[in-house]
Amino acid sequence: MAFESLSDKLQNVFKKLRGKGVLTEKDLKEALREVKMALLEADVNFKVVKDFIARIQERAVGQEVLSSLTPGQQVIKIVHEEMIALMGSEEDSRIRYSDKPPTVIMLVGLQGAGKTTMAAKLAGMLKKQGKKPMLVACDVYRPAAVKQLQIVGEQVGVPVFEMGTDVSPVDIAKAGIKQAAKMECGLVILDTAGRLHIDEELMQELTDIREQTSPSEILLVVDAMTGQDAVNVSKSFDELLNITGVVLTKLDGDTRGGAALSIRAVTGKPIKFAGVGEKLADVEAFHPDRMASRVLG
Ligand code: GDP
């Protein structure tokens, strides 16, 4: 399961806290120091950890938690609440639909993050929810990318619009949206090109697509296993594109949790979905409360 090492460490701290009938300020400090270490070892952003610990400290001392009957339990509750807050609210994770269909969701991200797989996963999931999605292949740099989208699109039973690799991505996106309207598909998912690194040309292309298609959502796909790199990529993409949310992939292989716990606090943008395996059904809406429970046990 994801985050096992972080969970183990936090549960050890909690066990000690629960065992204490009386909790001194020194005990609290020591416990929070251990929580802090565990989060840093899990590759959570340093500033995020610092603020998180400060908030817990302030609440625990300020609310006379220490003199309560179950001080350890109270502190654990505060940690839990603050961890949920760190990852955002339930509402954040919903997709914004346009008043004028089709709703356009633009998926962006670096190569290998799992973007194309996620395009099909989202299409399949939203189809199950009664939507009529269409996938649009806007990655014209790799002929294999168009083919890959066609294959995964077929696997989830969603139409894939493509114009090969000789047409500009902006024109493909616009034509795809027109076609979706014609076919009464209420939802268009644009699979855009990825690169190994963020470069100006790519960002210009993505900005052009955004300007020409007015997407309701610009979702950045990042690989959870890359930890703080994922956080830095999120920050850069957000500064350049003003994304509306993040999709975390490969959460199934992430034993640390640094990306999941940092992205929202660093970018201010919510994590909306998570990829939890290689199969196309391995996708879920991201629920901060469930994630916090998974981490905290
Ligand atoms: P893209 O270059 O961003 O379009 O990435 P792909 O969609 O081609 O995915 C890259 C690799 O990551 C593929 O081998 C996928 O099977 C794998 N992958 C994608 N999402 C997940 C996930 O949630 N969990 C796991 N374990 N692997 C994933």
Atom of ligand 1 nearest to the CA of 275: 23
Instruction: Report yes or no: 158 and 185 within 8 Å, Cβ to Cβ.
Output: no
Residue 276: band (very low, low, confident or very high) from pLDDT cuts 50, 70, 90:
very high
Structure tokens at 188: 């268009």
Identify the weakest region by mean pLDDT among 86-95, 211-220, 247-256. 86-95
Q: Give distance in angstroms: CA of 142 to centre of ligand 1.
A: 16
Instruction: Report yes or no: 85 and 56 within 8 Å, Cβ to Cβ.
Output: no
- The vertex-24 CA angle with 23 and 27, nearest 5°, equals 80
Q: Give distance in angstroms: CA of 81 to centre of ligand 1.
A: 32
Question: What is residue 3's predicted lDDT score, i.e. its pLDDT?
Answer: 81
Ligand 1: residues with CB < 6 A are 109, 111-117, 194, 249-250, 252-253, 275-278, 282
Mean pLDDT estimate for the chain: 94
Q: Output the CA torsion 165→152→231→91 (10° steps).
A: 120
Q: Which residues contact 53 (CB under 8 A, 6 or more apart)?
A: 32, 35, 36
- What pLDDT digit, counting tens, does each position of 63-108 carry? 778 888 889 999 999 999 999 999 988 777 789 999 999 999 999 9
Q: Give distance in angstroms: CA of 278 to centre of ligand 1.
A: 6
Instruction: Report yes or no: 95 and 125 within 8 Å, Cβ to Cβ.
Output: no
**Predicted-assembly ipTM surpassing the 0.95 threshold:** yes
Report helix, strand or coil for 191.
strand
110 is in an annotated binding site: yes
Q: How far is Cα of residue 11 from the mean position of the Cα atoms in its chain? A: 25
Q: Give distance in angstroms: CA of 229 to centre of ligand 1.
A: 17
Atom of ligand 1 nearest to the CA of 139: 4
Q: Give mean pLDDT, residues 122-133.
A: 97
Residue 260: band (very low, low, confident or very high) from pLDDT cuts 50, 70, 90:
very high
Question: What is residue 1's predicted lDDT score, i.e. its pLDDT?
Answer: 53
- Judge if pTM exceeds 0.80: yes
Instruction: Report yes or no: 150 and 120 within 8 Å, Cβ to Cβ.
Output: no
Percent of the chain at pLDDT above 70? Answer: 99
